[in-house]
Structures are given as structure tokens and as C-alpha cells.
Amino acid sequence: MKYLLSVCAILLMIMSTSGFALDLQTAKSRGLVGETPSGYLADPTGQASAEVKALIQNINAKRKARYSQVAAKVGKSLVIVEQLAGKKAIEKTRPGLYVQKPNGQWVKK
């Protein structure tokens, strides 16, 4: 239980991408990016501009670094932390925004 609380607290910090909140939220609301089960952002349209691709890469790099820190701290594999983060991110995604199903299909929540 303590492990789960620690992971959840750290994931909440990860999900609050304050430096990119406006840009990320705008991209999400326009349907340019969506959350995936792997814990990372992706382009649901397959036609992202260079700016959107850069945003996705930047945020995903920061997420991966944070996930690696969490995994090392709690003694779990990176994949487990990524999957837990992906699940939490999808759960927290507002209705009308894109999320990816485990089968790879993009849907509006």
C-alpha cells in the first residue's frame, strides 16, 4: 500500500507539466496529442506538425526521466511504472480528448 501511495504521489507530480501546461492542454484540446497506455503522449492523427512533434518528444523525454527515477526509487521495472502512469493519465483525461486503447485504436474519451 505504501508503494502504491508513493507511486501515485510521484505520478501526480509528473502529470502536472506546469512548464508546458498551456501548450499541452491546447494540443490536447485540438486533438493533436493524446495519452497512451504506455504512459507517453502520441499523435492520434498521424499528421503532426514539427511543433507538435517537438512538444511530444520534449514531454515524453521528461516523463521517461521521471519514470526512470520512480522505478529506481521503488525497485520496480521501468515498464511497470510506465504502464501505471499510462493508466492514471488515461483515467484523468477529460471527456472529449483522445486516448489510445491497448489495441492501438484512438478514441475520444
In the block, cell 499528421 appears at 47
SS3 35: strand
pLDDT at 45 over 80: yes
Task: Give the per-residue pLDDT at 21.
Answer: 37
CB atoms within 10 A of CB 46: 7
Task: Give the per-residue pLDDT at 3.
Answer: 60
What is the C-alpha separation between 85 and 71, in angstroms, rounded? 11
**What Å distances lie between residue 90 and 50, 75, 87, CA to CA?**
25, 24, 5
**1 vs 47, residue with greater confidence:** 47
Average pLDDT, the chain: 87
Task: Say if pTM beats, i.e. exceeds, 0.85.
Answer: no
Task: Give the per-residue pLDDT at 23.
Answer: 81
